[in-house]
A = this chain, B = another copy of it.
Amino acid sequence: MNAEKVINLGEACIEEALKIVAEQGIEQLSLRDIARRLGVSHQAPYKHYANREHLLAEIVKRCFADFSNHLDSRPESCHPMEDLGNLGHAYLTYALTKPLQYSLMFGSSLPDPGKYPEMMKQARHAFSILKDAITRLDDKKNISEIEINALFVWSTMHGMAGILQNHVAGQLNLSVDLKTVAIPKALDRIRIALEAQIANLA
């Protein structure tokens, strides 16, 4: 196998892994199955990934990098609160347009983060985008307060993403539209909470 083919096999494994996860769930992912589907020897993927966890960590790392790029490409705004709103919209757009990548980052069957520093570096970078946006709201706050606000905002965004993806929520016979009313209003409540908090503690 020449160098180009070897590089391509590494990439092909990632593409095939994403297909398997989408079709059968993350539990069914195995390097052996990837090899079978790609029509290569069952040893071949091991030249690129020592095991299933290594492959998964590489995939999740790339998801976080892609996610960060997406968040960074939100419309610019010199108003910190408006910028946070833009970040919220960018977050939800990613979750809804790339649900597979989203669940790979934020699902619960991830590779052990302690073992994959590069993956965690990308994860922390994504979180820092949110922390930076929160810091710009009020740079007099200390790091704990910024983190607490970031986790509050993240919780709400993560929860909204899940609720929008969930089939049950659409069938609750709500009088308000989930996407066009409830979500913007929830973003509004985040703003109210953060503004009230800034006003009290400034």
Given A27-B24, A147-B176, A178-B151, residue A165 in contact with residue B108 (CB < 8 A): yes
Query: Copy number of this protein in the oligomer?
Result: 2
Q: Across the interface, name the chain B residue whose C-beta is closest to A116.
A: B171
CA separation between A119 and B144, bound complex, in Å?
42
**Contact mask for chain A residues 144-176; partner B; CB cutoff 8 A; 1 contact, 0 none:** 100111011011111111110111101111111
User: With an 8 A cutoff between CB atoms, is A17 at the interface?
Assistant: no
Given A172-B124, A189-B197, residue A159 in contact with residue B166 (CB < 8 A): no
Q: Would you give the shortest CB distance from A125 to chain B, in whole angstroms?
A: 11
User: With an 8 A cutoff between CB atoms, is A7 at the interface?
Assistant: no
Q: A144-B175, A192-B192 are in contact. List 13 more A-B contacts (CB 8 A).
A: A23-B27, A24-B28, A106-B163, A106-B168, A108-B162, A124-B172, A124-B173, A147-B182, A148-B182, A155-B155, A156-B159, A157-B159, A190-B193
The 9 closest A-B pairs by CB, nearest first: A159-B159, A25-B25, A155-B159, A158-B159, A193-B193, A25-B27, A113-B171, A152-B186, A189-B193
Q: Can you give 17 A-B contacts (C-beta < 8 A)?
A: A25-B26, A28-B28, A105-B168, A107-B166, A108-B162, A108-B167, A110-B166, A110-B167, A120-B168, A120-B171, A123-B171, A143-B175, A151-B174, A151-B186, A158-B162, A189-B193, A192-B193
